[in-house]
Amino acid sequence: MSIITVPSQPIATLPAMGLMGVSAPALQKTLGKAVECSGIGVHSGNLVNMRLCPSAENTGIVFMRTDLVNGARSIAARWDNVIDTRMCTVIGNDHGGKVATIEHLMAALAACGIDNALIEIDGGEVPVMDGSSDSFVFLIDVAGVVEQAAPRREIEILAPVEIEQNGKRASLSPDDVSRYSVTINFDRAPILTQSCDIILSRGAFKNDISRARTFGFFEEVEQMQKMGLARGGSLDNAVVIKGNEILNQEGLRYSNEFARHKVLDAIGDLALAGMPIRGHFDGYCTGHALNNTLLRALFARPDAWRVVEGSMETAQAAAI
């Protein structure tokens, strides 16, 4: 069971680039107040309590393990802190602290325009809730979003960067907006070939992406559990496929829910860039590992990107 209650390393660690000024810069945002939730970790099976808190300008998204001590507690949600990508995205620090399955929460924070937040959590995995980002969007709506004094910064893609591994592909290319396109291809019904394409905004994410659930195959559960994964998985927090049938009594939320969830994952994984990306993400059969590899390839190419101040016009469009 998942429960929601409603109580009343800095971004600068990215390689330094000059800001390209605009006349009316958008401002950074954080949460209006702290909000809490509790739920099961889909892989660990453990009950976890989590609190989303406002945070200062230029601090980014930081997870705080309240059950640990000293240096292990604080883990910045950043691409170079990713330590595992098997079935989920895991971040960690040099002192042994780690947090798993952060992608659904990170997608919600990114889509809702949250630049700075402190995530207090008393376990090693973000609660899976219903397997989507819907509960996290609700929490952010309840907390409210407030502007801060510092200008918002974005990563503008200047040149294409592409990664291909074993027939899977992911790329970033220049675009005036933040666009996500994903195609998946499975050799079995009910998935087969599906695609999804969105221009990222709060409204588009909330209406078209946030409710898309993670999915898995019944035949693979035993092997995953032997690997220490999927111990908390159930029909309450994942779409489960057995043979060519969907076991969930309510069926699918969207006809292409599987592709939409892959877009959700990509938004969450790319949010680890540390600031919004202005460009086009295009993925074919991509996953957490390839998404992180793409970010590493991007930041290894200083000619392919630059940091710019977000414009008020862009921020207003993203908020719709």
Active site residue 104: no
Tokens of 137: 């969007």
| Residue from 108, 58, 88, 78 nearest 267 by CA | 108
Residues contacting residue 285 through CB under 8 Å, at least 6 positions apart:
167, 168, 169, 183, 184, 185
Residue 151 parent element (H or E): strand 145-151
Whether the Cβ atoms of residue 103 and residue 269 lie closer than 8 Å to each other:
yes
Biggest CA–CA distance in the chain, Å, is 57
- Residue 231: C-alpha distances to residues 43, 153, 221, 263 (Å): 5, 39, 9, 24
| Residue from 223, 220, 149 nearest 188 by CA | 220
Q: What is the CA radius of gyration of the chain?
A: 18
Residue with tokens 């076991």: 247
| Residue from 54, 132, 80 nearest 273 by CA | 80
Residues known to be catalytic: 288
